[in-house]
Amino acid sequence: QVQFELSGGGLVQPGGSLRLSCKAIGLATSLHTMGWYRQSPGKQRELVASITGSRNTYYADSVKGRFTISRDDAKNTVNVQMNRLKPEDTAVYYCNPTDGAGFPWGQGTRVTVSS
Going by C-beta distance under 8 Å and a sequence separation of 6 or more, which residues neighbour residue 92? 38, 39, 40, 107, 108, 109, 110, 111
User: Per-residue pLDDT tens for 75-89?
Assistant: 999 999 999 999 999
44 in Cβ contact with 33 (< 8 Å): no
In this model, does residue 100 exceed pLDDT 90? no
User: Per-residue pLDDT tens for 42-51?
Assistant: 999 999 999 9
Confidence of residue 101 (pLDDT cuts 50, 70, 90): confident
User: Per-residue pLDDT tens for 3-61?
Assistant: 999 999 999 999 999 999 999 999 999 999 999 999 998 999 999 999 999 999 999 99
What is the spatial distance between Cα 65 and Cα 73, in angstroms, rounded to a whole number?
24
Give the DSSP letter string of 36-53.
EEEE-TTS--EEEEEE-T
